[in-house]
């Protein structure tokens, strides 16, 4: 997570405008291919450590670059971000299933080769020229790529804090939910179904969210997501009843997918146009990576002693986003 954070804050500021987004994607995907190829040949703990960190450094940067391209097309072409982003969820399900089947017949090296193949395909696709070139929107302000001057703005600080609290609250879930479910004697098949519920409802929001929340602004969407997170982690940490646990998994549609849609909507349509790229980088670096990394460390230090209580702490952190959303920051 820390390597991913560094990738975002060190590489994204080098993107000076929309025209450089696609070349940036090409170079980062090519670098990722080179790192994964090196992992196939260089052995030993030292190289495994260095190359794993390098892989996270470059691969994580592909996410904000891809979202920044999508954000530009939301503005230029009225792209339905959710309906495009859902293919990521579909690909996750298909690839996880195929890898799972493959590992019953082949060694764990299959994971490395499949990842390398995916990155090669991405690099190849990035070489294609899009029919609608990426362009910066007209603005009276010069386009900025520096992160710190943007983060100092009250509206940007609020955006980053809110998204970090909501997205970061998933840290305990990603790290310990399966272990927790096993500790309360849920069968592995049930655990698989619970994960599937979360992904399925996430996909429904991505597909239909732009229609369902067409008249909502980003702040209202964030507010619903924050209330959903408080409810979700409150249920998670206070009951072992399977129906309620399934309900909490359904709330993944709000806590993750709606937060993602709200973030893209804010950057694409509500934030200053000349700061779209640094805002995308800050969202990825802090909300999706640094916030999650820090809260994963917190979860790791507390889970053994308080167990499911860690999810109640996540509920409390999510609740902190609500008063932030009810206060309008100064420009």
From first to last of the 331 residues of the chain, give the pLDDT tens digit: 788 888 888 888 888 788 888 999 999 999 999 999 999 899 899 999 999 999 999 998 898 888 888 888 887 888 888 888 888 888 888 887 888 888 888 888 888 999 999 999 999 999 998 888 887 766 555 555 677 788 888 999 999 999 999 999 999 999 999 999 999 999 888 998 898 888 889 889 988 888 899 899 999 999 999 999 999 999 999 999 999 999 999 999 999 999 999 998 999 888 888 788 888 888 888 888 888 889 999 999 999 999 999 999 999 999 999 999 998 766 5
- Cα–Cα dist 31/20, whole Å: 16
Q: Copy the structure tokens of residue 226.
A: 């924050």
CB distance 282 to 17 below 8 Å: no
CB distance 209 to 258 below 8 Å: yes
- Cα–Cα dist 96/118, whole Å: 13
Where do we find the tokens 């009276």? 140
Q: Copy the structure tokens of residue 265.
A: 């909507």
CB distance 176 to 305 below 8 Å: no
Question: What is the model's pLDDT at position 215?
Answer: 92
Question: What is the model's pLDDT at position 281?
Answer: 83
Going by the DSSP 8-state scheme, the letter that residue 13 receives in this structure is: G
Going by the DSSP 8-state scheme, the letter that residue 176 receives in this structure is: H
Residue 98: HSE in the Cβ half-sphere, 13 Å Cα cutoff: 10
CB distance 8 to 285 below 8 Å: yes
The DSSP result for 29-84, as a single string, is HHHHHHHHHHHHH--SHHHHHHHHHHHHHHHHHHHHHHHHHHHHHHHHH---HHHH
**Domains of the chain as residue ranges with CATH:** 2-129+144-326 (1.20.1250.20)
Q: Copy the structure tokens of residue 192.
A: 């698989």
- Is 221 in a helix, a strand, or coil? helix
25: nearest Cα among 146, 125, 126: 126
Radius of gyration of the chain from its Cα atoms, rounded to whole angstroms:
20
196: left (phi over 0), alpha (psi -120 to 50) or beta: alpha
- Cα–Cα dist 19/2, whole Å: 28
Question: What is the model's pLDDT at position 35?
Answer: 96
Q: How many CB atoms lie within 10 A of CB 74?
A: 21
Q: Copy the structure tokens of residue 257.
A: 């997918």
Handedness of CA 139, 145, 149, 150 (dihedral sign): positive
Calculate ∠ Cα 53-318-225, nearest 5°.
95
- Cα–Cα dist 158/329, whole Å: 7
């Amino acid at each position: 997570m820390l390597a991913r954070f560094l990738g975002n804050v060190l590489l994204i500021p080098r993107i000076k405008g929309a025209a450089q987004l696609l070349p940036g994607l090409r170079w980062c995907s090519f670098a990722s291919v080179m790192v994964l190829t090196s992992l196939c040949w260089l052995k030993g703990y030292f190289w495994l450590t260095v190359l794993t960190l390098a892989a996270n450094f470059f691969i994580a940067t592909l996410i904000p670059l891809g979202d920044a391209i999508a954000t530009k097309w939301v503005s230029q072409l009225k792209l339905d971000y959710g309906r495009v982003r859902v293919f990521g969820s579909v690909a996750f399900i298909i690839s996880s299933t195929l890898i799972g089947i493959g590992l019953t017949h082949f060694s764990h090296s299959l994971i490395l080769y499949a990842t390398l193949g995916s990155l090669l395909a991405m690099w190849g696709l990035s070489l294609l020229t899009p029919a609608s070139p990426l362009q910066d929107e007209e603005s009276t302000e010069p386009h900025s790529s520096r992160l710190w001057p943007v983060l100092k703005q009250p509206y940007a600080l609020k955006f980053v804090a809110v998204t970090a609290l909501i997205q970061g609250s998933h840290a305990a879930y990603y790290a310990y939910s399966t272990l927790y479910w096993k500790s309360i004697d849920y069968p592995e098949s049930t655990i698989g179904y619970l994960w599937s519920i979360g992904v399925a409802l996430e996909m429904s929001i991505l597909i239909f969210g732009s229609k369902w929340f067409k008249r909502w602004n980003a702040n209202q969407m964030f507010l619903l997501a924050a209330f959903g997170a408080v409810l979700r982690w409150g249920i998670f940490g206070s009951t072992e009843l399977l129906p309620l646990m399934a309900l909490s998994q359904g709330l993944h549609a709000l806590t993750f997918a709606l937060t993602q849609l709200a973030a893209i909507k804010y950057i694409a349509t509500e934030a200053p146009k000349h700061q779209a790229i640094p805002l995308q980088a800050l969202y990825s670096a802090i909300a999706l990576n640094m916030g999650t990394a820090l809260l994963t460390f917190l979860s790791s230090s507390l889970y053994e002693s308080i167990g499911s209580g860690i999810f109640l702490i996540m509920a409390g952190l999510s609740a902190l986003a609500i008063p932030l959303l009810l206060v309008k920051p100064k420009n």
